[in-house]
Amino acid sequence: MITTDFVPGSPCWLDLGAPDVRAAASFYGAVLGWDFESIGESEDFEGGMFRKDGKIVAGLGKLTEEGARSAWMIYYSVTDADAATQTVQQTGGTVRVAPMSLDDWGRMAQYSDPQGAQFAVWEPGTNKGVELVDQPGSLSWTELYTTDAASARNFYGTLFGWQFSDMPLPGGAGTYTLITPAGLPEDRMQGGLMQLGKEDLALTGGRPYWHPVFAVEDCDAAVAQVTGNGGSVQMGPVDMEGVGRLAVCLDPANADFVVLAPSES
């Protein structure tokens, strides 16, 4: 489970780059019950925060990178963004945004792993990260689709010290690798990675990618809101034994995410 103590290597923040901020705010408000709080609208910046029950659950900003697709960016907590950047460079990754300070909130950097999956790190200052996780309408899991699981394990294991354990997928569909922060028990699992062929990654033209999983109370109801508000469904809803009922979705700008109604323990 993801918690808000944000140990090194745990997901602590996520934000969405969207071509239309107001449209994205309306969509996720309908699907996940989020409220949008604008923190600036100008020629150079448009964006703000998503809140659920008054607590910050994600950020939203206007997509400005030329040629980039709308997507969720997941940030992992680190104690030193400069040291993380050096490790990324030494292990075959690419620095997309060099470490930079955001006032006294903290420092961030964005990278691509050796296969091209984009992610980010956050060195906390006064802002530790999101305020609500593992509850309906908040982040509950992170997932990587990669073309080389062994390479991904080596890269992220070196960078974050993650612990990995494998489980077979139903019907002989391959192996799913579970991710736990360094030194923590398996009940603190925070995500997974799965190897797919480039032909299965049509959304990004064959490039690996991370996406968030959001907890919901009712998967089918959430899917109805996705399709009823201009989004689409790539897979599901489907029941996964021991996990819950889930669906892989796209918002109206084709940013991907998963909604999951967890199994009752």
Confidence at residue 81, expressed as pLDDT on a 0 to 100 scale? 98
- Does 101 reside within a domain? yes
Rounded to the nearest integer, the mean pLDDT of the chain is 94
- Does 16 reside within a domain? yes
- Which domain, by its residues, includes 20? 11-124
- Does 217 reside within a domain? no
Residue 57, pLDDT > 80, answer yes
Confidence at residue 42, expressed as pLDDT on a 0 to 100 scale? 54
- Rounded to an integer, the average pLDDT of 28-41 is 91
- Does 48 reside within a domain? yes
- Does 120 reside within a domain? yes
Long-range contacts, stretch 150-153, CB < 8 angstroms, 24+ apart: 151/114, 151/115, 152/113, 152/115, 152/117, 152/193, 152/208, 153/177, 153/193
Confidence at residue 189, expressed as pLDDT on a 0 to 100 scale? 95
Confidence at residue 10, expressed as pLDDT on a 0 to 100 scale? 97
- Rounded to an integer, the average pLDDT of 17-24 is 94
Residue 45, pLDDT > 70, answer no
CA distance 41 to 248: 31
Confidence at residue 68, expressed as pLDDT on a 0 to 100 scale? 81
- Does 52 reside within a domain? yes
Distances (CA, A) of 71 to 89, 224, 254, 257: 23, 21, 8, 9
Confidence at residue 173, expressed as pLDDT on a 0 to 100 scale? 72
pLDDT grade for 46, boundaries at 50, 70 and 90: confident
- Does 168 reside within a domain? no
User: Can you give the CATH number for the domain in which 103 is found?
Assistant: 3.10.180.10
What is the per-residue pLDDT across 218-264, written as a single tens digit (0 to 9) for each? 999 999 999 999 999 999 899 988 889 999 999 999 999 999 999 87
What is the per-residue pLDDT across 171-227, written as a single tens digit (0 to 9) for each? 777 899 999 999 999 999 999 999 999 999 998 999 999 999 999 999 999 999 999
Q: Which 8-state DSSP code applies to residue 133?
A: B
What is the per-residue pLDDT across 163-172, written as a single tens digit (0 to 9) for each? 999 998 877 7
- Does 173 reside within a domain? no
What's the number of domains the chain is made of? 1
Confidence at residue 207, expressed as pLDDT on a 0 to 100 scale? 95
| Least confident residue range of 27-36, 111-120, 200-209 | 200-209
- In this prediction, what percent of the chain has a pLDDT beyond 70? 97
Confidence at residue 163, expressed as pLDDT on a 0 to 100 scale? 97
